[in-house]
Structure 1
Amino acid sequence: MPAILLAGPAAEPITLAEAKTYLRVDHDAEDALIASLITAARATVEALTRRALIDQNWRIVRDAWPASGLIPVPVNPLREILAVHVVDAGGAEVAVPADAFTADTARLPGLIRVGRGGVPAPGRALAGIAIDIVAGHGASADHVPSPLVEAVRVVLAHFYEHRDVPGPGAAFPARLDALVAPFRVTRL
């Protein structure tokens, strides 16, 4: 079940100014580099934990409705369902009423419960269902757990210090695992 990023986060977990202070950089010559490393560090922490740190819009694509009526969400934490569409036999997208679904945001990974009645079957055998969701801890860094923000700083510093070192000689510091381990989302 693929997930497609529709809109990334509106902000990063740390600002450029915070990053420069953490890295002890007092000039502007590397601002573009540091900004790109912040994004790479966030993406790395998200990959390690299977969590979106700051709210992002994703599309989950499915071939058919599950017999169990439960769809595990591949991007977490699930915050809300934005829209659901099925592709009919003619290839047109048909909106499915939002009240036919329930977002179970209390568990990780999140689950989408599909209502038993009134949900049309897709008219296309492959990728006939599209579910648009919001996943993340909130709209700003204020909602991201502080150990995950610190993990972004650790990865950022690692990337900055080892930008010219190829290969396995540039392994992440051991404390990174301690920071992200309690936040890893297991796969179903």
Structure 2
Amino acid sequence: MTVSLKEAKKYLRVDHDDDDTIIWKLIRAAETLCEGTLRKAVEPVPINKVAVLFAVAYLYEHRENADMDELTRMLRYILATEREVAF
């Protein structure tokens, strides 16, 4: 994991334990999305952490109506320099 539950909660400014399970699942989903965008495993480098935290925040804030196309597009912008070229 590139982001811990504690890091994600701090980033989200969540100071209660009620949403720990959902935040943990969102971290895993965000890492999966980032791996798909990168076309490789997520490494614990700063830009990947930023992307994972961004995705967690987006998914947490838009739990009811997340626009996955918008999120994927933003992750491509964030991770553009790290993304593997595929032909």
Q: Which category describes the TM-score, using the shorter chain as reference length?
A: 0.7 to 0.9
- Which structure would you say has the larger Rg? 1
Question: What 5-or-longer segments of structure 1 have no aligned partner?
Answer: 1-11, 54-136, 138-143
- The equivalent residue for 2:53 is 153
Tell me the TM-score normalized by structure 2. 0.87
Is the contact made by 1:162 and 1:170 (CA closer than 8 Å) also made in structure 2?
A: no
Q: Which has the higher helix share?
A: 2
Matches within 5 A, 1:134-173: 137=43, 144-165=44-65, 168=67, 171-172=70-71
Query: RMSD between aligned alpha carbons?
Result: 2.1
- The equivalent residue for 1:30 is 19
Question: What 5-or-longer segments of structure 2 have no aligned partner?
Answer: none
Q: Which has the higher contact order (CA 8 A, sep 6+)?
A: 2
Are residues 43 and 165 of structure 1, via their aligned partners in 2, closer, same or farther at CA, if it must alter by over 3 Å? same
Q: Which has the higher strand share?
A: 1
Tell me the TM-score normalized by structure 1. 0.42
2:8 to 13, 19, 43: 19
Deviations 1:50-81 (A, max 9, x none): 0112xxxxxxxxxxxxxxxxxxxxxxxxxxxx
Provide the identity percentage.
34
Matches within 5 A, 1:13-92: 13-53=2-42
Distance 1:22 1:44 in 2: 19
Query: Offset of 1:172 from its aligned partner?
Result: 2.0
Query: Offset of 1:178 from its aligned partner?
Result: 2.8
Matches within 5 A, 1:99-110: none
